[in-house]
Amino acid sequence: MCDLVPGQKNGNSLLPVTLVKMYDAKVALNNTRKNMQNELKLPNLPEINEDESIRQILNYSTQNNLLFVQSEHDGKIHILSFTVGLDGKANPKAMDCYVENQGIFSEDKIIALKYAKPTENEMNIISVEAKIVAELRYEYALNLLGRLGVSKSRVGLDFIN
């Protein structure tokens, strides 16, 4: 995710972006159900079929936590979650990267990403290629930026005796 338009920045060809890990919504629903089961100390929850699973996922669709992406290959719509559970209790998992060529990509939608991977006492710069599969609408990108800002700007406190 990037809040800059490619090509607007002068100078450096590396554009900072934030990658957000997406989870299959069915897996996220199962995680939410397991958490609910643990919190309520229930021995088990009733099994749900595919249709009921989709219905329950769609109940969360107004909470700005889901992304619907239509596959170019088979036209199937995939439902993805920004968090590991659908209940919105977890923060999104994000990683800061840099995209080459100021984020401008060709028709094949392949971009080159760079990120720092810490090892014992060093930082290794890793380069990978990635394919663009979707673009967030402006208002969704703003919502996600706000959620990421909250999770990234938390102050760590400690007590001194």
- The DSSP string of the chain is --SS-TT-S-S-S-EEEEEE--EEHHHHHHHHHHHHHHHTT-S------HHHHHHHHHHTGGGS-EEEEE-TTT-PEEEEESSSSTTS-SPPPEEEEEESGGG---TT-EEEEEEEEE-SS-EEEEEEEEE------HHHHHHHHHHHHHHHSPPP-----
**Boundary-marking domain end, from 45, 60, 85:** 85
Q: Which tokens in the block code for residue 90?
A: 């977890």
Domain region containing 31? 22-85
> Is the model more confident about 133 or about 80?
80
pLDDT at residue 155 tops 70: no
> Is the model more confident about 139 or about 6?
139
| One domain, residues 48 and 68 | yes
61 found inside a domain? yes
152 found inside a domain? no
Q: What is the pLDDT of residues 41-67, one digit of tens each?
A: 988 888 899 999 999 999 988 888 899
| One domain, residues 28 and 80 | yes
125 found inside a domain? yes
Share of the chain above pLDDT 90, in %: 30
Task: Identify the band that residue 25 occupies on the pLDDT scale cut at 50, 70 and 90.
Answer: very high
